[in-house]
Every structure is written in C-alpha cells, then in structure tokens.
A and B are shown apart, each in its own frame.
Chain A
C-alpha cells in the first residue's frame, strides 16, 4: 500500500523528492512493525534487536551527520 502511494507520488511533478523520502522511510516502518510483532506476538527477544536497529538509524537521522 505504502509502496503504491510512493510510486503515485513519484509520477506527480513537484512531489518527487517526497516520494523518494517516502520510499526510504517505508523499510523503517516495516522493520518497526516486524520488531513489535516479534516481541508482542512471538514473545522473542530478537524483536528488540530489530527495534534497536531502527532506533539506531532514527537517532543518527535526528542528530544528523557531518558532511
């Protein structure tokens, strides 16, 4: 669904940068959902590692990187 929305945005002039950012954010959303599912439904600690991976990327995005 998210992929379809982003592809639609990519065809819309002026919204193409948003489409690319949307495409790049989607795996973070999917990863978070899978992590939550592993922790809550399957009761496995490995879900926490997946959530930690997403958190690592979000923290580095928040603080930015030197360019």
Chain B
C-alpha cells in the first residue's frame, strides 16, 4: 500500500484507541491494532503483525519495568514459563511465514470471538490449589501454544498467559497480570526480530512507529481511565466491537476466496 502521513496519523489515532480500550479491559493493544490495520487500512498482513508485535513489546516492556520495581512480578514463574513461550514464538514465526493469509485471518477471527466471549462472561476464579506436577506440565504446554499464537497473529499472548497463571499456577490476578506482561515482552520481541528482515523500511515510520507509540500512550491513558469508567458496561460494548472486527475479517476472507 502507498503510505502517507495522513494514514500514519490515522493509524496513530486507531492505535491510541486500541491501546486505551485494551488497557481498560486488561488486554494488550495488539489484539485490536492488528485487525484494525488489516481491515481499515488494508495494511499487508505481515506488516500489521510486525506492527502489532512492536506495539505489544514496547507497551509490555514499559509496564513490566514498573511491575518489577514494585516487586509484583513473580520472577520464578516468569522464568519457568519463558522457555516454552520462546519455543512457541520461534515455531509460530516459522508457521506464520508459511501459512496462507486467509488461514491466519480466520484464526484471528476465532481468537476475537473467543476474546469477546471472555469479555462478556464473568472472570474465572483461581483453583486455590498449589501447582501440582501435572498442572505445571499443562501450564508449560499452554505457554508453548500462547507463544505460537502470539507470533502467528502479532498479538501479545496475554489472553493465554494470564489465565494459565491464575487457573493452573494459582496466582493472584494482579501477580498474574504482571507476570504475563513480563512474558509477553520477550515473546513479542523474539518473534518481532524474526519477522524484521521481511519488513520494508517504508513501513517503519508510516505504520510500525505510529502503531507502537499510539498503543503505548493509549495504554497509559487507559490505565488512568480504567478506574473511572464502569467496567461491566465497557466490557460489553467492546465485546460488540470485537465481534464486528471478527466479522469484518471473515468478510475479507470470504471475498478474497470468492
């Protein structure tokens, strides 16, 4: 696509909104940014994925530095789960480069519908039990899946990591969010670096940087606003938006196949 400064400004605005809404409902901005870039701006899928990974990396890096300083991040769990997410990121990047773009868009649509369902239903509670050997193994393999998902679709993978930490490793929601943020930074960075050689330099100032800084600033604003807005209503409204994005991706897949 021909890039210009007007589309860059629009991308920065959409990325800001993606970061703000993502942060308000406890999700990364990548989940909203990537489909928005594909659907609204017709950005090629691999450029959009790279932009999503850079945005997620910057946001989670700045967040995790704060969490580590506040001593909220559970570094032992993070260290235990970082290896499977890294393996998943490498596998996901290889698969993401080979798989047809329509398959990836369909997967993204499914992920968005799942996200919308999670936003509408009430959050799951911790099992409260200590991590058993089997739970640790399940957590390990789930994180490989999270890494694959992150690299293939250009999202953070927090939608997998945070529930794994809460439901399988019995961590508090706050600790799980902080630890998941830490995991996301390295996973997104690894897959981003693996995608980087295929990205033209023209995409950097026009898509990647406006996307990254839009999401980063939006996430800070969203974090401030999250305490002032009704969570339940916001979740349901955003779920409708997420389903609409999923439908727009499905329409793109159907029209390109037909």
Binding site for B on A (CB under 8 A): 3, 7, 10, 13, 16-17, 19-21, 23-28, 30-31, 34-35, 38, 44, 46-47, 49-50, 52-54, 56-57, 60-61, 64-67
Complex contact A27–B54 (CB within 8 A): no
If over half of A's interface residues share one DSSP class (helix, strand or loop), that class is named, otherwise mixed; here it is helix
Binding site for A on B (CB under 8 A): 53-54, 57-58, 61-62, 64-65, 68, 75-76, 78-80, 82-83, 85-87, 89-90, 93-94, 97-98, 185-186, 188-190, 192-194, 196-198, 201, 204-205, 208-209, 212-213
Complex contact B185–A44 (CB within 8 A): no
A27 proximity list for chain B (CB < 8 A):
57, 61, 185-186, 188-189
Chain A residue, CB-CB nearest to B97: A67
If over half of B's interface residues share one DSSP class (helix, strand or loop), that class is named, otherwise mixed; here it is helix
In the assembly, what is the distance between CA of A20 and CA of B68, in Å? 23
In the assembly, what is the distance between CA of A49 and CA of B201, in Å? 34
Complex contact A24–B54 (CB within 8 A): yes
- Between A and B, 13 residue pairs with Cβ closer than 8 Å are A20-B204, A27-B61, A27-B188, A28-B189, A30-B185, A34-B79, A44-B79, A46-B76, A53-B82, A53-B83, A57-B189, A57-B193, A67-B197
